[in-house]
Amino acid sequence: MNYIDSIKEGFRLINKNWQLVIIQMILLVISTIGFFIIVGIPFAIAFILFGIDLTRLTDFRNILNILGNRSEFLSKYIGLLLIVIGSLLLYFVLIVLLNIYIFAGSVGVIGRSLKNKHEKFSIQTFFNEAKRLFPRMLGFTFIIGLLMILTAFFLGILGGSIGALISFTKSIESKVVIFILIFLYLCLTLMALLFVMGILSLTLFGVASLLFKDIGPIKSIRESMYYLSRRPSAFWLYAILFGSYMLISFILVILKYPVAFIPLIGTLLSFPVQLIAGIFEAYLGLAFMAIILSYYYSTEIQSSTTIDVTTGKSAISENVTS
């Protein structure tokens, strides 16, 4: 299957399972409400218990006065800080787990639709797939998160070293040295972009291998690396989708934010425009994921099945001949 066929198949799958877009929007609403319940309410209660006048925080100078003496602020409001930090951590953990659960159900439904083109969406299937894939998807996310942290740490060390060299050579009036260091800095930026895109492509195709081959997180990452090494075209497909998504998101930002500044009706139009843009971005994200899964399924699963069937037929014909 080529790029065009995969793109068509990906959009067909999401149009067929359009309910996944609704689930994504429900997730967004739950995340917003959850923030106010888990973080906002304890935050407001803590402010009342500690006797802080919330109306004073509307003036930036009052905030600076409160934070001016850090030692006094920490000794007086250490309980407030612990409550706020604890609420934020609790919200972050719950939202991450919920997002992984919804993502597992979504890719599970897309995978079933790829295997069986006549299968229709059902909420029961969605939850069954979410329960089946959630433990492995959680472990997979944890490993990918560690890889991202290590990559950021490594690139941070390189960037800091080059930045220190640039600062050191400011006193040297040598255009050649400055040019070389700037060139190294640009190379580092390009390398960082390639690292990030490599890890993200490894993530998406790792999800595909975890889904279709029914394997664990570590093995799925190895399978993804092996698959990308054999099929560089898969990485370039992801690069095209990544660039397209960033470009479309940028265009949406340009189109939706000026609406709020329209006189009289700007505020009224802002909410529906933001809602439509959010629905479109959710649809686009699911479609791009479906394209990746479709390409992997056609090039890895179906092709290997075809090879196995052909090999089996050849073996049978040789046995009959002999």
Q: What is the pLDDT of residues 267-318, one digit of tens each?
A: 677 777 778 888 888 899 999 999 999 999 998 887 665 544 444 444 444 4
Nearest to 204 by CA among 155, 170, 239, 168: 239
Taking residues 167-175, report their average pLDDT: 64
- The answer to the question of residue 319 being in a domain is no
Nearest to 14 by CA among 300, 292, 287, 298: 287
Report which of residues 124 and 186 the model is more confident about: 124
Q: What is the pLDDT of residues 179-189, one digit of tens each?
A: 777 777 788 78
Of 153-162, 184-193, 231-240, 258-267, the range with the highest mean pLDDT is 231-240
- The answer to the question of residue 48 being in a domain is yes
Mapped onto helix, strand or coil, the DSSP state of residue 183 is helix
pTM: 0.80
- Domain of residue 111 covers 3-303
What gap in Å lies between CA 186 and CA 181, rounded to an integer?
Answer: 9
Residue 99 has pLDDT above 70, yes or no: yes
Report which of residues 188 and 251 the model is more confident about: 251
- The answer to the question of residue 308 being in a domain is no
pLDDT the model gives residue 11: 92
Residue 258 has pLDDT above 90, yes or no: no
Residue 194 has pLDDT above 80, yes or no: yes
Of 21-35, 251-265, 305-319, the range with the highest mean pLDDT is 21-35
Tokens standing for 28?
Answer: 């967004």
- The answer to the question of residue 317 being in a domain is no
- The answer to the question of residue 314 being in a domain is no
**Segments in the chain forming alpha helices (H):** 3-16, 19-35, 41-49, 60-68, 70-115, 123-168, 175-212, 217-230, 232-256, 266-296, 302-321
Tell me how many domains the chain contains.
Answer: 1
pLDDT band at 172 (very low <50, low <70, confident <90, very high): low
Taking residues 133-161, report their average pLDDT: 87
Q: What angle do CA 59, 62, 64 make, to 5 degrees?
A: 115
pLDDT the model gives residue 272: 78
- The answer to the question of residue 310 being in a domain is no
User: DSSP labels for 268-304?
Assistant: HHHHHHHHHHHHHHHHHHHHHHHHHHHHHIIIIIHHH
Report which of residues 305 and 113 the model is more confident about: 113
- The answer to the question of residue 147 being in a domain is yes
